[in-house]
């Protein structure tokens, strides 16, 4: 069975220390999905103008954040890479004439390991991390994801890790979302119901409260959404698996993309 592509919000690095509805859901999700032979993950925290691919036998764990509780800096996620999947990714990028660079020794940033550690705590599924380019248009990001869609037929799970609403300057001590956050997420859901790429690619002008939900300084967090969505261009169905909010302006949601029979039913 072909695996879906997933968009998973990673929220704050502190998610790695939390036990809440979202972390419990991600743990359940990791058990629910057919075990992949490898994971390819686009992370908002690796933003490069040229496509980068990790090519390591064993990934280091990057603690690429500051000001968090000390136990967070002691967490390690020693997961293997996968040279065979790297070669497959290379071939698909070459076929589409996309320039790329392989990188060794970088490690996994928290956008990748925080959610993967929650879903697969045994670190027993090899991982290849791919960079995003927040300066590309959503259509270009989608098209790069689409280049990799055939990997889903080979038991490779493709994940985009970021956040649809991720405005750190609007955080509030509150339960539930601020109005702008809920309205933006609802609009995204309405477009996904029809796979309306025309509106989604133009979200900056078409979506309500787009500048608040996706501030100009944080466009890298929505980018993985389009990469993951593109990886299911040959399926074009979407299903929201989870939704909650932290501090009013950080959306924690999970979307599954693919054909109807590929979408995750929980």
263 within some domain? no
87 within some domain? yes
104 within some domain? yes
Number of neighbouring beta carbons within 10 Å of residue 69: 10
265 within some domain? no
Q: Percent of the chain, pLDDT > 70? A: 100
Burial (CB count within 10 angstroms: exposed 0-12, middle 13-18, buried 19+), residue 21: exposed
Alpha helices in the chain (DSSP H): 21-32, 70-73, 83-95, 110-119, 138-147, 179-193, 197-201, 203-206, 210-213, 223-230
Number of structural domains in the chain: 1
Q: Per residue in 228-250, pLDDT tens?
A: 999 999 999 999 999 999 999 99
pLDDT at 144: 98
Domain CATH code at residue 23: 3.40.830.10
Q: Per residue in 181-208, pLDDT tens?
A: 999 999 999 999 999 999 999 999 999 9
pLDDT at 112: 98
264 within some domain? no
pLDDT at 1 over 80: no
Task: Give the pLDDT band of residue 266 (cuts 50, 70, 90).
Answer: confident
233 within some domain? yes
pLDDT at 91: 98
Q: Per residue in 33-44, pLDDT tens?
A: 999 999 999 999
Cα dihedral value 213, 215, 220, 222, nearest 10: 20
29 within some domain? yes
254 within some domain? yes
Mark 158-171 as b/e (b = at least 16 C-beta within 10 Å): bbbbbbbbbbeebe
Q: Per residue in 88-122, pLDDT tens?
A: 999 999 999 999 999 999 999 999 999 999 999 99
Q: How far is CA 259 from CA 175, 180, 226, 234, 237, in A?
A: 34, 31, 17, 8, 6
How high is the mean pLDDT of the chain? 97
- Reported pTM: 0.98
Backbone angles phi, psi at 76, to 5 degrees: -125, 145
Three-class secondary structure of residue 140 per DSSP: helix
Q: Which residue range is the domain that position 66 belongs to?
A: 5-258
Degrees, nearest 5: CA angle 236-177-65: 85
pLDDT at 6 over 90: yes
pLDDT at 100: 98
């Amino acid at each position: 069975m072909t695996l879906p592509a997933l968009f998973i919000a990673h929220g704050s690095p502190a998610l790695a220390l939390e036990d809440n509805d979202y972390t419990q859901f991600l743990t359940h999700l990791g058990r629910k999905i057919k075990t992949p032979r490898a994971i390819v993950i686009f992370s908002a925290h690796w933003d490069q103008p040229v496509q980068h691919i990790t090519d390591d036998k064993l990934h280091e764990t990057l603690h690429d954040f500051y000001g968090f509780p000390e136990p967070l800096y002691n967490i390690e996620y020693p997961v293997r890479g996968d040279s065979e999947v790297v070669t497959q990714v290379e071939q698909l990028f070459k076929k589409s004439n996309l320039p790329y660079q392989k990188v060794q020794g970088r490690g996994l940033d928290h956008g990748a390991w925080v959610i993967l550690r929650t879903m697969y705590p045994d670190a027993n599924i090899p991982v290849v991390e791919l960079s995003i380019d927040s300066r590309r248009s959503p259509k270009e990001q989608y098209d790069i994801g689409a280049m990799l869609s055939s990997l889903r037929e080979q038991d490779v799970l493709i994940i985009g890790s970021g956040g649809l609403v991720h405005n750190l300057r609007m955080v509030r001590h509150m339960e539930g979302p601020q109005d702008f956050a809920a309205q933006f997420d609802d609009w995204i859901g309405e477009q996904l119901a029809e796979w309306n790429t025309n509106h989604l690619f133009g979200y900056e002008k078409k979506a309500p409260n787009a500048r608040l939900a996706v501030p100009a300084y944080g466009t890298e967090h929505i980018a993985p959404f389009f990469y993951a969505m593109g990886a299911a261009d040959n399926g074009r169905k979407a299903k929201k698996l989870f939704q909650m909010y932290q501090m009013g302006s950080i959306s924690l949601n999970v979307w599954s993309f693919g054909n109807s029979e590929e979408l995750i039913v929980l």
